[in-house]
A and B are shown apart, each in its own frame.
Chain A
Amino acid sequence: MNAMSNGRFGIHGGQYIPETLMNAVIELEAAYNRYKNDPDFNRELTYLFNEYAGRPSRLYYAEKMTRDLGGAKIYLKREDLNHTGAHKINNVLGQALLAKKMGKTRLIAETGAGQHGVATATAAALMGMQCVVFMGEEDTKRQALNVYRMRLLGAEVVPVTTGTATLKDAVSEAMREWTRRIDDTHYCLGSVMGPHPFPTIVRDFQAVISREIKQQLMEKEGRLPDAVIACVGGGSNAIGSFYHFIPEKSVRLIGCEAAGRGVDTFETAATIATGRLGIFHGMKSYFCQDEYGQIAPVYSISAGLDYPGVGPEHAWLHDTGRAEYVPITDDEAVDAFEYLARTEGIIPAIESAHAVAYAQKLAPTMGKDQIVVITISGRGDKDCAAIARYRGEDIHE
């Protein structure tokens, strides 16, 4: 099933960007089409995935959680065990390698929680490229440790003070920087969003997640899962977790959006639950916005899901009903964060905890012969101080 033509997923996607960037994305698409099936490129990328990032990531049977919830058998796809601690490295290694083949010497990136920024800084260090990361000033405070990690890796971190000083403003500023300096610079976009070909490129590099889940579960259980659950901001770990299951109609695909303080409040980032069709950041998709199309200042405890839009392929999977999208509040995510830590000894990223929270609701309603896979997109060390504060405990990093 591939509804994409000319960078579209159904009515979503496209290339809504300034003319200044058009030749850059055209050049990127041509390079990607040239290298995506190139055996040498894929050999190099697989080497980096396996030897550097530590792939394949484990598919772990969460026996205690399964027993505790008393329903479906639960497996955790451990993207948190990747080098740099999240799924972001998959996309970044692919894009950095592609940029290098294109002759680019400098990577720029946006980051929310800092995971994509750290991954980009890591790939830049590895491949000998310059790196500049744009991060909302608000997020530099929420994720101070990641700011330090990026600097340690040799990247320059630019705090973005415009707008809400969060992820969407970091994306805007990275796009502005790309229009300033194109020749030597690749914009290493961190999610399945932005103008074509980014949603496709990022999806393809993240699709390794579902390729591995399928193979690993076949080895362990001899069958497909009944549901795959992942958190959705822009939606890269979710699309990576879903992709190879899209043609398998028996597999429920469930994306968990950040509802913040609730979808009936203004302090939410649940785009599919509360947004409308719009055009922003290079794509047509669903966005949280007011009646005049002004993009809404969204909120979530999770800096990585704190984005007012969603990738165009998710918008299309929603339209066609192939995937379901559910909102998870801050409270539910924090409970799940603590639950997974206590039950399995695994501290998930607060982003991934949104997926865990939905699994806690879903698994008990399913049969013991059924299987749920939760993608743990990242590790939660970066979130510990913020969660402690959320619980009224003032700890310093």
Chain B
Amino acid sequence: MSNIASAFASGKAFIPFITCGDPDLETTAACVRACVANGAGLIELGIPFSDPTAEGPVIQAANLRALTGGVTTDRIFGLVRDLRRDVAVPMVFMTYANVVFSYGVERFISTCRDIGIDGLILPDLPFEEKGEFLPLCRQYGVDLISLVAPTSADRIAMIAREAEGFLYIVSSLGVTGTRSEITTDLASIVKVVRANTSIPCAIGFGISTPEQAAKMASYSDGAIVGSAIIKLLAQYGKDAPEHVGAYVRTMTEALS
């Protein structure tokens, strides 16, 4: 069984997203530890990309801050090695296909295994293109996370059947970013997902409040939050970890 399943074993999972190196890797490490100390079930670590086409302005800015600060894929691998000395919760990378492809797909994925990364989310790698990545992910025991979107319709069953780790359900049309309201019929999507896979599913995009998180987790097995956390990093910089920890506490309490 995938290590990722353990994140969902004891109830609904809260999954924070953090862009590595925003504003520096020390702050990222402290934020991850603050998330874990406050009950996060799984950590999504973003490897910044110069042109993140699935992100809204908040995470785009975080990518830019991180890259301007000089972070690289290799330095992020170093961060994870360091975190793994005391962080036991599952961790996955979220990045763009070119970051993995450029590093060398096998070199990247085998390094993920070596440093203790459990999964990989590539928002620009749809079902049809996973053939170049999936066999290597399986070989090295790194789950390639699949996404379904509000527009997936007849594709949901096909995607769910082959999904590994957990299934990432995109709550809304558009890019990442907080939304005051999520109007997608998520219950219907989850129903198709459940009929086709037994792995957990979590909902992300647009979630920022404890109420939204609780509602999303009522449909699924967990809630993913990115932009709301990144806003704290933009606001507090190096002092963000304690604010992130406090925020994560309100979210995990809402899910318990």
Contacts and interface: CB of A to CB of B under 8 A. Distances in A.
Interface string A172-189: 100110011110000000
Interface string B97-110: 11111110000000
A16 B133 CA distance: 12
B98 A19 contact: no
Interface stretch (B27-35, B45-53, B112-120, B243-251): B45-53
A23 B155 contact: yes
Interface stretch (B2-10, B168-176, B195-203, B221-229): B168-176
Interface in B31-65: 49-51, 53-54, 56-57, 60
B60 A293 contact: no
Given A15-B128, A293-B101, A182 B152 contact: no
A182 B173 contact: yes
A169 B127 contact: no
Given A179-B175, A292-B102, A22 B53 contact: no
A20 B155 contact: no
Given A17-B124, A19-B148, A163-B50, A293 B98 contact: yes
A19 B129 contact: no
Contacts of B150: 20
Interface in A235-284: 276-282
A281 B51 CA distance: 9
Contact of A289 (B54, B102, B123, B151): B102
B155 A22 contact: yes
A175 B53 CA distance: 7
B73 interface: yes
Contact of B124 (A24, A279, A293): A279
A18 B72 contact: no
Nearest to B102: A293
Interface centre among A168, A179, A181, A282 (most CB of B within 10 A): A179
A15 B129 CA distance: 7
B126 interface: yes
Interface residues of B, number: 41
A370 interface: no
B67 A294 contact: yes
Contact of B153 (A23, A163, A295): A23
B13 interface: no
Given A18-B54, A19-B149, A175-B53, A279 B101 contact: yes
B53 A276 contact: no
Contacts of A182: 151, 173
Contacts of B57: 162
B137 interface: no
A75 interface: no
A109 B99 CA distance: 26
B159 to A, nearest CB: 7
A311 to B, nearest CB: 17
A163 B51 contact: yes
Interface in B226-243: none
Given A14-B129, A15-B126, A280-B51, A20 B99 contact: no
Contact of B53 (A24, A172, A277, A278): A172
Contacts of A180: 173-175
B103 A293 contact: yes
A181 B128 CA distance: 22
A293 B72 CA distance: 10
A333 to B, nearest CB: 26
B151 A276 contact: no
A20 B51 contact: no
A397 interface: no
Given A15-B129, A294-B67, 16 more contacts: A14-B128, A18-B124, A18-B149, A19-B123, A19-B127, A19-B147, A19-B152, A20-B173, A22-B126, A172-B51, A175-B53, A179-B54, A291-B102, A292-B74, A293-B73, A295-B51
Q: Which 9 A-B pairs have the closest CB atoms?
A: A293-B102, A180-B174, A20-B149, A294-B50, A279-B97, A293-B98, A19-B149, A295-B50, A279-B98
12 contacts: A15-B128, A16-B125, A19-B127, A19-B148, A19-B152, A22-B149, A162-B60, A168-B51, A176-B54, A293-B101, A293-B102, A294-B49
